[in-house]
């Protein structure tokens, strides 16, 4: 059940994630806990070309995918992901009618990445296709409850990823290491001057870090900052 | 409604994780179910050992609830087994009708007509191999898309997990309700004066409650008290 709580934390943290790479890295970390070590996110709005949002596959694997026609809209597996909204497994994808070359590419990619199974989650918004999130691994946990959990997380992460892309470079809401350190000392009851001594900085600097953390967390008081940071699990509870 | 239910999903995760009583968990679950168009939400707790459902918690009208009890749904082991074995959300029409007795079929028909139910969703919840129960959802015109099913499956898991946690944990009672309330408001950036106004007590009394909470938690400052109370789940995050 711990995994469910981890997933809940991820959703709560979505609000303060500042960048797409960080977002998908955190999603990948959760998926990896369950054996899904491979992640690829494609954006494919209706009528627009497919673009790669995120992947941790090596370049030669991507090239093989492209060579196998995976970047084309009419590829059977991609078409399936675009036409239906129900997630499907790698086994089901393999059962799709593929040409010999497409089948070989799928097998080659599986061998290269050490993948035996995984899920493709079609992402839609108000019934219109947006993209797909693919996760796979050597021995992933394919249980129904995890399928639901990762399906929901992929959906929410994709939405957030799109918002981040639209918003451009807004100020990062992620706390810096120094801000976190100061906040941790505040949480155990230290004053600015005490924190200054501990970290060998000026009290003013300690105050500066805490004020920045407050602004990023969108709160007015120090007590609130600690509560919010604990709630978001950015400092240990 | 479509986009709104994702905002509700995120806030429901907060509400469920922060709930301090099983009633609060189910209230949050009902609210998010309603956002997906399921106006009716019931919880069935699985009995020990044999697959059967024991208690019912929900918003069903008394006469309907009685009809359900009379029709013997709780004792229908074959039905319970079918639902729990599925391990994934089932649309009500997926359940074979021969699993119901004649009386049960009638009870279902009456309920359907009386509450104008268009579709229902049955969400089984397990922790590993142990059956925890199921969530029954119904509504006039609910969202039953794959992603809606995944979201509700995940939320049901989270809700049962939280209830199991709350039932097994008594540390919640470490602080008096008043102390917990004052500390919670303090964590949200309120001054003693604000807390006093919100609770209809004087600022001095608010201060008194927080001082007592500090003593009980064995800490020196207010920030520490909030951090410690969150850590020990004596106040909701």
> What residue in B sits closest to A224 (Cα-Cα)?
B187
CA distance A62 to chain B (A): 28
A14 lies within 8 A of chain B by CB: yes
Residue B150, Cβ neighbours under 10 Å: how many?
25
Compute CA distances A118 → A36, A40, A57, A67, A228, whole Å.
Answer: 7, 11, 14, 21, 35
Quick one: pLDDT at residue B155? 95
A220 lies within 8 A of chain B by CB: yes
* 3-class SS string, A64-112: HHHHCCCCCCCCHHHHHHHHCCCCEEHHHHHCCCCCHHHHHHHHHHHHH
Query: Which positions in chain A touch B224 (Cβ < 8 Å)?
Result: 187-189
Output the DSSP codes for B160-177: HHHHHHHHH--GGGGS-H
Distance CA A27, CA A17 (A): 11
Asked if residues B206 and B195 have their Cβ atoms less than 8 Å apart, the reply is yes
Interface test with A, best of B146, B162, B194 (most A CBs within 10 A): B146
Question: Strands B119-127 and B40-46, how do they pair?
Answer: unpaired
Query: Across the interface, which of B10, B87, B189 has its CB nearest the CB of A11?
Result: B10
Quick one: pLDDT at residue B3? 54
A180 lies within 8 A of chain B by CB: no
Query: Cβ A144–B157 below 8 Å, yes or no?
Result: no
Query: Cβ B17–A5 below 8 Å, yes or no?
Result: yes
Per-residue pLDDT of chain A (237 residues; tens, 9 = 90+): 667 888 888 888 887 787 888 899 999 999 999 999 999 999 988 878 888 899 988 888 888 877 777 766 677 777 777 778 889 998 888 787 777 877 888 888 888 888 899 999 999 887 788 999 999 999 999 999 899 999 999 999 999 898 887 765 455 667 888 999 999 999 999 999 999 999 999 999 999 999 989 888 888 888 889 988 887 766 765
Q: What percent of chain B has pLDDT over 70?
A: 89
A147 lies within 8 A of chain B by CB: yes
The pLDDT of residue B61 is above 70: no
A218 lies within 8 A of chain B by CB: no
Entry field: residues in chain B: 237
Query: Cβ B153–A144 below 8 Å, yes or no?
Result: yes
Quick one: pLDDT at residue B91? 92
User: Which is more confidently placed, A202 or B55?
Assistant: A202
The pLDDT of residue B144 is above 70: yes
Query: Cβ A147–B150 below 8 Å, yes or no?
Result: yes
Query: What spatial distance separates the first Cα and last Cα of chain B, rounded to whole Å?
Result: 27
Tokens describing residue B67: 């009809």
Predicted confidence (pLDDT) per residue in B174-217, tens digit:
788 889 889 989 988 899 999 999 999 999 999 999 999 998 88
Task: Spell out where chain A has E strands.
Answer: 38-43, 51-55, 88-89, 117-125, 128-137
Query: Cβ A226–B89 below 8 Å, yes or no?
Result: no
CA distance B41 to chain A (A): 19
Query: Cβ A224–B127 below 8 Å, yes or no?
Result: no
CA distance A68 to chain B (A): 29
Interface test with A, best of B186, B188, B223 (most A CBs within 10 A): B223
Quick one: pLDDT at residue B54? 63
Quick one: pLDDT at residue B237? 64
Query: Across the interface, which of B13, B87, B224 has its CB nearest the CB of A187?
Result: B224
Bridge partners, residue A137, by sequence: A117
CA distance A152 to chain B (A): 5
> What residue in A sits closest to B231 (Cα-Cα)?
A237
Query: Across the interface, which of A5, A189, A224 has its CB nearest the CB of B189?
Result: A224
Quick one: pLDDT at residue B206? 94
Query: Which positions in chain A touch B163 (Cβ < 8 Å)?
Result: none
Tokens describing residue B217: 């938690």
| pTM of the shown model | 0.71
Bridge partners, residue A135, by sequence: A39, A119
Query: Across the interface, which of B3, B9, B153 has its CB nearest the CB of A145?
Result: B153
Of A135-144, B9-18, B43-52, which gets the smallest average pLDDT? B43-52
Q: Which residue, among B165, B141, B157, has the nearest Cα to B89 in the 3D structure?
A: B157
Size of the A and B interface in Cβ pairs below 8 Å: 118
A87 lies within 8 A of chain B by CB: yes
Query: Cβ A11–B127 below 8 Å, yes or no?
Result: no
The pLDDT of residue B1 is above 50: no
Quick one: pLDDT at residue B2? 47
User: Which is more confidently placed, B229 or B172?
Assistant: B229
Quick one: pLDDT at residue B48? 63
Q: How many CA atoms lie within 13 A of A31 on its CB side?
A: 30
Quick one: pLDDT at residue B126? 87
Query: Which positions in chain A touch B122 (Cβ < 8 Å)?
Result: none
Query: Cβ B157–A149 below 8 Å, yes or no?
Result: yes
pLDDT band at residue B219 under the 50/70/90 scheme: confident
């Amino acid at each position: 059940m711990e995994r469910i709580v981890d997933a809940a934390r991820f959703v709560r943290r979505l609000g303060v994630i500042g960048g797409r790479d960080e977002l998908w890295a955190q999603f990948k970390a959760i998926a990896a806990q369950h054996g899904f070590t491979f992640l690829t996110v494609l954006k494919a709005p209706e009528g627009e070309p497919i673009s790669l949002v995120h992947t941790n596959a090596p370049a030669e694997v991507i090239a093989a995918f492209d060579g196998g026609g995976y970047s084309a809209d009419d590829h059977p597996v991609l078409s399936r992901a675009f036409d239906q909204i129900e997630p499907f497994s790698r086994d089901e994808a393999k059962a799709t009618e593929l040409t010999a070359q497409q089948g070989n590419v799928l097998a080659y990619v599986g061998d290269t990445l050490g993948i035996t199974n995984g899920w493709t989650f079609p992402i839609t918004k108000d019934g219109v296709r947006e993209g797909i999130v693919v996760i796979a691994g050597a021995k992933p946990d394919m249980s129904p409850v995890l399928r639901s959990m990762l399906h929901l997380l992929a959906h929410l992460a994709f939405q957030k990823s799109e918002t981040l892309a639209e918003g451009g470079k807004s100020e990062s809401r992620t706390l810096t290491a120094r801000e976190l350190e100061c906040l941790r000392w505040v949480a155990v009851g230290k004053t600015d001057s005490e924190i200054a001594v501990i970290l060998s900085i000026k009290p003013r600097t300690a105050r500066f870090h805490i004020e920045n953390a407050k602004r990023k967390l969108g709160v007015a008081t120090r007590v609130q900052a600690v509560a919010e940071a604990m709630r978001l699990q950015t400092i240990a509870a | 409604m479509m986009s709104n239910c994702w905002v509700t999903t995120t806030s429901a995760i907060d509400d469920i994780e922060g709930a301090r009583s099983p009633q609060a968990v189910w209230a949050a679950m009902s609210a998010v179910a309603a956002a997906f168009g399921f106006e009716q939400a019931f919880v069935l707790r699985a009995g020990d050992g044999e697959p059967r459902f024991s208690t019912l918690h929900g918003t069903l009208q008394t006469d309907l609830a009685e009809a359900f009890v009379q029709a013997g749904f709780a004792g229908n082991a074959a039905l319970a087994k079918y639902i729990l074995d599925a391990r994934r959300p089932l649309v009500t029409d997926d359940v074979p009708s021969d699993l119901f007795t004649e009386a049960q079929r009638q009870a279902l028909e009456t309920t359907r007509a009386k509450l104008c139910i268009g579709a229902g969703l049955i969400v089984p919840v397990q922790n590993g191999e142990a059956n925890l129960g199921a969530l029954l959802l119904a509504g006039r015109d609910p969202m039953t898309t794959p992603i809606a099913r995944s979201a509700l499956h995940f939320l049901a898991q989270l809700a049962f997990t939280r209830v199991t946690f709350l039932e097994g944990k008594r540390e919640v009672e470490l602080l008096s309700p008043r102390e917990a309330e004052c500390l919670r408001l303090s964590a949200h950036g309120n001054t003693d004066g604000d807390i006093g106004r919100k609770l209809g007590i004087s600022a001095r009394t608010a201060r008194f409650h927080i001082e007592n909470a500090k003593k009980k938690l064995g800490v020196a400052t207010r920030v520490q008290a909030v951090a410690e109370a969150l850590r020990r789940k004596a106040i909701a995050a």
